[in-house]
Amino acid sequence: MTDLKPARILALETSCDETACAIIENGRALLSSVVASQMEIHARYGGVYPEVASRQHVLSITPVVEQALAQAHLTLADIDAIAVTQGPGLAGSLVVGMNMAKGLALGSGLPLVGVNHLEGHLYSAWVHDADETIPAEPQFPLMALLVSGGHTELNLMTDHLTYQRLGATLDDAAGEAFDKVARLLELGYPGGPAIQKSAEEGDPNRFKFPRAWLDETHNFSFSGVKTSVLYEVRELKKKSSTLPISDLAASFQQAVVDVLFKKTMNAAREFGAKEILVAGGVSANRVLRQTFRAQTEFPVHIPQLSLCTDNAAMVASAGYYRYALGHLSQMDMDVLPTWVLG
């Protein structure tokens, strides 16, 4: 790839319930990142309440932008382009971030770059703190596992912004299954961290929950393991009022991790990938991270924990490569690959 022009990108992310702004230099060096979380607000509902989320974005968006600029010791005059998540996500939440980004671009005369939320998650693996030693950059061809609350899919990246979608979930995404099982076990919201915490005290081999391998495809299915947990809980309740919550959580978690890991490894071998990338909210799971890092066949890139869940740094990184390579210089969903539309 030819050398890319240097640039500082300010990005906004408001696809769901996090109001975030970040500034990245040259696609990798993170100069500032601010995230205003609404987790405590939505926990009382057991999930994200869309109208509440959009109202909170309106309240938080301006202070978040101001704080990100202050942290980086920059002004808009030091920025080269504005990036923003344009989808997929909650319509009311997205419009707040997009309108703010359009206003910043119009007022400053800076170009505006639309970024898909899923592509942003993939590019979180390129990001590093500006004051740390620069880590190795992911090398193509790259097998990318995107695993989040709403999406689970495998993509072969042969170059920047170039993807071949190999498979995706046919029903529940992994993160969605975590949330539903956590609700079933009365562990609270969000489900991923709750399952992980409970599983730390549990036996992952006590319950033999099914693994949906879907042989000869790179697709995923997690509705079966979720349903299996439900049936197991019903049977256990017939025998005792006390459930082995930690064992159930650990066994469920292990079933999901086994499928994610083995199917990714198989796809990497089949398509001759040099390295593996794991990104998205579920990539914060400790067992998943340890499992991928324990294998030595492929170098593996997993974002730092703060970049696994929704943030604007990932949007800034993806926005940089789109800006520097001349892709999607205007907000045009038709330019994005079909898989990115989600």
72 backbone dihedrals φ, ψ, rounded to 5°: -85, -5
- 8-127+305-341 and 142-301 share one fold: yes
Q: Token match 């309240």: residue?
A: 59
The first and second tokens of residue 230, run together, are 């439900």
Annotated domain spans of the chain: 8-127+305-341, 142-301
Provide, for the chain, the percentages of residues in helix, strand and coil under a 3-state DSSP scheme, each rounded to the nearest 5.
Answer: 45, 20, 35
Domain over 142-301 is classified CATH 3.30.420.40: yes
Q: Which class does domain 8-127+305-341 fall in?
A: alpha beta
Alpha helix locations (H) across 163-244?
174-184, 191-199, 223-239
Q: Which residues have C-beta within 8 Å of that of residue 284, sequence separation ≥ 6?
A: 192, 193, 305, 308, 309
Distances (CA, A) of 272 to 30, 156, 311: 31, 10, 31
What is the full per-residue pLDDT of the chain (342 aa) written as tens digits? 558 999 999 999 999 888 999 999 999 999 999 999 877 776 776 777 677 888 988 999 999 999 999 999 999 999 999 999 999 999 999 999 999 999 999 999 999 999 999 999 999 999 999 999 999 999 999 999 999 888 999 999 999 999 999 999 999 999 999 999 999 999 988 899 999 999 999 999 999 999 999 999 999 999 999 999 999 999 999 999 899 999 999 999 999 999 999 999 999 999 999 999 999 999 999 999 999 999 999 999 999 999 999 999 999 999 999 999 987 544 443 333 333 333
